[in-house]
Structure 1
């Protein structure tokens, strides 16, 4: 069974270890995070502090954009974009990794705490009952502060999340305490 995680597309390009998991995974990507890849690819702002790492990540972003622009994958994505909250058919990268693109809609429910991309990430996680992967400590802190009922893993804990994770039933019990 594949473990599912909501994540930003740029994090998949930035953290190469995500593409070699120990078990099959499905990365759920709000469509807006794919569109961010184009901005990051063309933008003058560095993604990484180190020049070599920045060039490597930009190359990975270009490869990921190419994957999503493949005609077969593009058709699957376009079908998902026909209705809000529709999920694409799986986009298979390899035997262990697949992507599902979601046409997420920012409904401003959490707009005072989170930017539009963050809102789409957390709403997708809530709607699909899927844990969220993030490398942004401030975002994780705001999730806790706002008491958003979503499970979040730090990128550094990816292997734990894939191997074991925390069952949703355990989270529900701890919320009741």
Structure 2
């Protein structure tokens, strides 16, 4: 059985270890975060502090965009965009990685406490009963402080999050 995580699309480009999981994984990706890839692709601002790392990440973003724009993958994504909260069929990256794009809709449930994309990530995690993977410590802190009923893991703990027995408790 594969592990499922809600994640922002750019995290897969930034963190290469997500592409070599120890077991099958499904990344559930809100569509708004896929659209962010295009913003990052065209932005003159650096994503990483080190210029070499920044160039590498932008190259990975370009590869990810190209893969998602392949006709079959594009068609799968477009199917999800017709109805709020609908999901794409699996987009396979390799034998161990599948993406599901969700047409998440921010309903302003968390007001100014979270930005629209953070809200979509949390609402997707709630709907899918899947933990969130994030490198945003501030988001993780706000989820914990607000006692939002979702599991959240720092990306640095990805291998730990992949362990089978941690999912016996639905919420932390």
TM-score range, shorter chain: over 0.9
Structure 2 portions without partners, runs of 5+: none
Alignment partner, residue 71 of structure 1: 71
TM-superposition CA deviations, 1:70-91 (whole Å, max 9, x none): 1000000000000011010000
Aligned-residue CA RMSD (Å):
1.1
Asked if 1:31 corresponds to 2:31, the answer is: yes
Q: For the structure 1 residues 165 and 46, does the alpha-carbon distance in structure 2 shift closer, same or farther, using more than 3 Å as the test?
A: farther
Q: Is the 8 A contact 1:126 1:149 kept in 2?
A: yes
Q: Is the 8 A contact 1:113 1:146 kept in 2?
A: no
Alignment partner, residue 150 of structure 2: 150
Alignment partner, residue 89 of structure 1: 89
Take 2:146 and 2:15, find their aligned partners in 1: how far apart are those partners? Answer: 27
TM-superposition CA deviations, 1:81-107 (whole Å, max 9, x none): 000110100000000101000000000
**How do 1:1-177 and structure 2 match up within 5 A?**
1-164=1-164, 166-169=166-169, 171=171
How many pairs are equivalent?
172
TM-superposition CA deviations, 1:31-71 (whole Å, max 9, x none): 00000000001001100000000000000000000111010
Take 1:142 and 1:119, find their aligned partners in 2: how far apart are those partners? Answer: 11
